[in-house]
Amino acid sequence: MHSGTMTSSFNDNLVFQRCVIPQCGGTNSLDDTSFCCPKCGGIMDVAYDWDRLPVPKSLKDFEAKWMLRHQPLPFSGVWRFYELLPFAPPSSVLTIGEGQTLLRQSDHVAQYVGVNNGNLFLQYEGMNPSGSFKDNGMTAAFTHAHMTGAKRAACASTGNTSASLAVYCSATGLMRGIVFIGSGKISYGKLAQALDHGALTIQIAGDFDDAMQRVQQIAKKMGIYLVNSINPFRLEGQKTVMYRVLEALRWESPDWIVVPGGNLGNSSSFGKAFIELKQLGLISKVPRLAVINAAGANTFNLLTNMNSVSWNKGEPNKPVMNQFFTEMDTQNRRASTIASAIEINRPVNLVKGLRAIEFCNGVVRETNDQEIMDAKAKVGAGGMGCEPASAASVAGAKKLRAEGVIAPSDRVVCILTAHQMKDSTATVAYHSSDQKTFDEVLGVRGVRRAGFANRAVQVPNSLEDIVKAIEVYA
Ligand SMILES: *Cc1c(COP(=O)(O)O)cnc(C)c1O
Ligand SMILES: [Zn+2]
């Protein structure tokens, strides 16, 4: 297909990588794959010289792309916003039609959260080819990987990144995918995808945070392209989730975006999306961002709310953060939640997450597994399925409404990060009338009740009994 070298117009400092810390000023060229600041060792942003790039005058201009859906780039829900992530020549873009997702209003969930009917929206990213929002970022990282001539790509994953990488490798045939997963931590739905799509799957004895450290070492040592969200190109693709939300709301910013926080890739990319849209004069109002941790993986909540760590103009309190992680290590505290996709204690995008919270006047909260599973059942009963981690957004919105931070009249968008079928074990256990099944999956997580369970009805195999059951229950 395309050669591994970039065309000259894209080597012209129009696009480069820049340290997230403005005072540092460290930069890397577009084709760097260390994703590490050469001056301070921190994480990088993809940076654009917007003055020399063609930027639309209005977000409405993107609507013209709808007529071009027979072409691969305008068809993609990521690349139809090409002008807002123009790091690759259009001919180098690798897309499999990701980002065909849905924003749906749900009064059922509005009532549960406590906002007015008509004001609660679910952004369903489970409709992506691999069933999670990760595809938005993977198409961008994959494009960059191919531009730099990579032949192998790796990630550590709680499941959805590996599923996404495996799908892109198998669908394009351009790269060998290598996925690192913690042992016993991955749901079958996600493991099935990595295996079925032919990724080399390495299960290490440890959890996600261990796997993340190992994959970074391996990537460096063996020159393998890393697609974890430490990769700033992934975050470029994930910005488009926000563009699609705005598009679905006729380009009018909602009051709140609520998102689950794991590695804080989504939170960071949403923040960057709004920073750039504002800078480019494409929006006037910036929505507030709410990032929701699971209580069993609450680093971001603890640091921001208990330890007063903030972006602080690019100088977040490093000693406090370092001490926090040192204590975590000495006490051997491990992340633990039914919401496996956010079972992460060392978010790699921490500093970018702080920036997003600062720019979007955001808040951080945590929700426990009981609240997450109850919210998930409500989302399902409202007509949209999701996995446990996704429902943290709805549980978090409910909490913020109860606190009075979110008002009943606010328009709230909760991001449903992945599909219901990703983790059917948790769902079936919640609805099961069998206490043993419930306890094995949920009881061990401190979930005590299934307040919104829809239990299967046991009926003898006789016509009369079946008729009776239907008359009683339906
Ligand atoms: C990856 C993932 C998350 C966490 O997103 P981050 O960008 O790492 O914060 C949340 N939900 C689901 C379903 C995921 O797959
Ligand atoms: Zn730096």
Q: How far is the CA of 425 from the centre of ligand 1 (A)?
A: 18
In order along its 474 residues, the chain shows pLDDT tens digits of 333 444 444 556 899 999 999 999 999 999 999 999 999 999 999 999 999 999 999 999 999 999 999 999 999 999 999 999 999 999 999 999 999 999 999 999 999 999 999 999 999 999 999 999 999 999 999 999 999 999 999 999 889 999 999 999 999 999 999 999 888 768 899 999 999 999 999 999 888 888 989 999 999 999 999 999 899 999 999 999 999 999 999 999 999 999 999 999 999 999 999 999 999 999 999 999 999 999 999 999 999 999 999 999 999 999 999 999 999 999 999 999 999 999 999 999 999 999 999 999 999 999 999 999 999 999 999 999 999 999 999 999 999 999 999 999 999 999 999 999 999 999 999 999 999 999 999 999 999 999 999 999 999 999 999 999 999 999
Return the pLDDT at 12: 64
- The pair of three-digit structure tokens given for residue 375, joined into one six-digit string: 């919210």
Return the pLDDT at 212: 87
Q: How far is the CA of 22 from the centre of ligand 2 (A)?
A: 8
- The pair of three-digit structure tokens given for residue 6, joined into one six-digit string: 């970039």
Helices (H), 249-346: 265-279, 299-301, 318-330
Q: What are phi and psi of 181, to 5 degrees?
A: -130, 150
Residue nearest to ligand 1 atom 2, measured at CA = 341
Of ligand 1's atoms, which has the minimum distance to the CA of residue 264?
A: 9
Q: How far is the CA of 9 from the centre of ligand 1 (A)?
A: 34
Return the pLDDT at 4: 40
Residue nearest to ligand 1 atom 4, measured at CA = 262
Of the bound ligands, which one is closest to the alpha carbon of residue 39?
2
CA distance 440 to 433: 13
CA distance 347 to 212: 10
Q: How far is the CA of 158 from the centre of ligand 1 (A)?
A: 9
Q: What sign has the CA pseudo-torsion 180, 183, 185, 187?
A: positive
Return the pLDDT at 158: 87
Q: How far is the CA of 417 from the centre of ligand 1 (A)?
A: 7
Q: How far is the CA of 317 from the centre of ligand 2 (A)?
A: 15
Pocket test for ligand 1, best of 234, 342, 422 (most atoms within 8 A of CB): 342
Of the bound ligands, which one is closest to the alpha carbon of residue 35?
2
Return the pLDDT at 56: 95
Of the bound ligands, which one is closest to the alpha carbon of residue 261?
1
Residues with CB under 6 A from ligand 1: 132, 134, 160, 229, 260-267, 341-342, 387, 389-390, 417-418
Return the pLDDT at 11: 54
Q: How far is the CA of 263 from the centre of ligand 1 (A)?
A: 7
Q: Which DSSP string corresponds to 88-126? A: S-GGG---SS----EEEE-HHHHHHHT--TT-EEEEEGG
Return the pLDDT at 206: 87
Pocket test for ligand 1, best of 122, 124, 132 (most atoms within 8 A of CB): 132
* Kind and range of the H or E run holding 74: helix 72-75
CA distance 256 to 115: 12
- The pair of three-digit structure tokens given for residue 279, joined into one six-digit string: 């800078």
Return the pLDDT at 16: 97
Residue nearest to ligand 1 atom 14, measured at CA = 341
Pocket test for ligand 1, best of 123, 130, 133 (most atoms within 8 A of CB): 133
CA distance 269 to 344: 18
Q: Which DSSP string corresponds to 349-376? A: THHHHHHHHHHTT-EEEEE-HHHHHHHH
Length of the chain counted residue by residue: 474
Return the pLDDT at 13: 85
Question: Which fold would CATH assign to domain 102-128+234-425?
Answer: Rossmann fold (3.40.50)
Whole-prediction pTM value? 0.96
b/e map 253-268, b = 16+ CB within 10 Å: bbbbbbbbbbbbbbbb
